[in-house]
Amino acid sequence: MKRHTQWKEVQTALGVVVAACVLAAGTMGIAADPSDTAAEISRLTAHIHWLGHDGFRIDGDGVVIYTDPYKISGGPKADLILITHDHADHASPEDVAKIQQESTIIVTVPAAAKKFSGHIQTVKPGDRIVVKGIPIEAVPAYNINKFRSPGVPFHPRDAGYVGFVITVNGVRIYHAGDTDAIPEMKDISCDVALLPVSGIYVMTAEEAAEAVRMIHPKVAIPMHVGKGIGSLDDAQRFKKLSPVPVAILPME
Give the binding site for Zn ion (CB under 5 A): 87, 178
Rounded to 5, what percent of the chain is helix, strand, coil? Answer: 30, 25, 40
Smaller CB separation from Zn ion, 42 or 145: 145
Residue 102's Cβ-side half-sphere holds a number of Cα atoms within 13 Å equal to 0
Q: Which residue is nearest to Zn ion (CB)?
A: 87
Separation of alpha carbons 79 and 85, rounded Å:
19
Reduced to 3 states (helix: H, G, I; strand: E, B; else coil), residue 10 is helix
Smaller CB separation from Zn ion, 60 or 161: 161
Question: In the complex, what is the shortest distance from the CB of residue 92 to Zn ion, in angstroms, rounded to a whole number?
Answer: 12
Residue 248's Cβ-side half-sphere holds a number of Cα atoms within 13 Å equal to 16
E strands, the chain, are 48-52, 55-59, 64-67, 80-83, 105-108, 119-122, 128-131, 134-140, 147-149, 152-153, 162-168, 171-175, 192-196, 219-223
Smaller CB separation from Zn ion, 85 or 172: 85
Residue 3, C-beta contacts closer than 8 angstroms, at least 6 positions apart: none
Question: In the complex, what is the shortest distance from the CB of residue 43 to Zn ion, in angstroms, rounded to a whole number?
Answer: 31
Question: In the complex, what is the shortest distance from the CB of residue 84 to Zn ion, in angstroms, rounded to a whole number?
Answer: 8
The dihedrals phi and psi of 129, each to the nearest 5 degrees, come to -135, 165
Smaller CB separation from Zn ion, 60 or 140: 140
Q: How far is CA 82 from the centre of its chain?
A: 13
Question: In the complex, what is the shortest distance from the CB of residue 120 to Zn ion, in angstroms, rounded to a whole number?
Answer: 19
Q: How far is CA 8 from the centre of its chain?
A: 48
Question: In the complex, what is the shortest distance from the CB of residue 162 to Zn ion, in angstroms, rounded to a whole number?
Answer: 12
Question: In the complex, what is the shortest distance from the CB of residue 66 to Zn ion, in angstroms, rounded to a whole number?
Answer: 17
Smaller CB separation from Zn ion, 87 or 218: 87
CB-based contact 222:195 (threshold 8 Å): yes
Question: In the complex, what is the shortest distance from the CB of residue 202 to Zn ion, in angstroms, rounded to a whole number?
Answer: 7
Smaller CB separation from Zn ion, 95 or 178: 178
